[in-house]
Amino acid sequence: MMKVINMLLFSLVLSGCSSPPQPVPVAWDKPGRSVNTGLPQWRDNPVIIPSPVVKDTWLLSIHARNFNETRWTTAIFYAITHSARIVVAAPSGAAFFTAKNWLRQYGAKGVIEYQPVSGCLVCSDTHMYFSH
């Protein structure tokens, strides 16, 4: 057993003390090659990575007519992804399903409830209430 340990230590020391290989010389007489010829193209990415632990309780509400044309902050997308319950107060069923599809597109995994808006004939905004 001691011989095996000594052989392992000897081979470790021998391999650790050996010199590294010589680097490949650069051919300075050849022309260089261009690697990045243009700027990278940025695209909007609807992928939301949920946080594994959400300990706090919170409430948030938003409203809009057209959710795709409104600029939202990252707090809104965090709320969409991490809400256990989302209530959508919409003037019509079509507005509710538009909002529901938008929420699912941006990572909503919780229960999405419909609450009809009553007592308002000219209301066109859809309100969303997020809770965790």
- pLDDT tens digits for range 119-129: 777 788 899 99
Mean pLDDT of the chain: 85
- Give strand ranges (E) for the chain: 59-64, 85-90, 111-116, 126-131
Interval 25-66: pLDDT, tens: 988 898 888 888 888 888 777 667 778 887 888 899 998 888
Instruction: Kindly report the pTM of this predicted structure.
Output: 0.62
Order of strands, sheet of 59-64, starting from the edge strand that comes earlier in the sequence: 59-64, 126-131, 85-90, 111-116
The token pair that represents 111 in the structure block: 């229960």
